[in-house]
Amino acid sequence: MSPAHAPWDLGLSERCLVGLSSGPPFTPGGYNSNVQVFQTPDYVVILAEMVHQVRVVPLDGRPHLPPQFRQWHGDARGRWDGDTLVVDSTNFTDKTGSFSAAGVAMGSALTLHLVERFTRVDANTLLYEFTVDDPVTFTRPFTAAIPIAKATGTLFEYACHEGNYAIINILAGARERAAHDTPGR
């Protein structure tokens, strides 16, 4: 029987809030793994097609938020190191995993420190590197590098909420089963 009695009993990706390949960090997924990065004078914006996630990263050297302020995607701060954009993120919430691969979340991101590096290798390739440092979840930090090929199409909205009948059906099924499993019936 499903342990779900309310929407908050379901995982964040089942509720279309975070997860899958949207990161951070980004990991390749089966579909919608496109990313758009654009810059204003004061910010870099990172838009992931999956879950339609947007991260607005300040470039003005401000410090991270105090540790009591937690966010699902962390508190990101960016800087340029030559031609490489470095995004340093802390203050993740324990409601997300420290690292997720193939839809399986590992650990709690409460102690996660994530450093991402975006380097344009050539006109058609962006090298994405990330280092996960979470001593509560992993025995030591690890780094991965993923080349991202330039796409010529447009990003599409990942409209997971519209028509997301899975939550309604999961909860309805759990309630129906509970009604039939009630002692004395």
Q: Give the per-residue pLDDT at 181.
A: 72
CA distances from 115 to 32, 56, 74, 132, 156 (A): 23, 15, 11, 7, 27
pTM score, two decimals? 0.81
pLDDT, block means (10 residues), the chain with 185 residues:
61 65 75 84 88 88 95 93 97 83 76 96 96 95 94 76 67 76 59
Q: Give the per-residue pLDDT at 34.
A: 81
Q: Give the per-residue pLDDT at 1.
A: 45
Question: Into which CATH architecture does domain 17-159 fall?
Answer: Beta Barrel (2.40)
| Domain boundary assignment for the chain | 1-16+163-185, 17-159
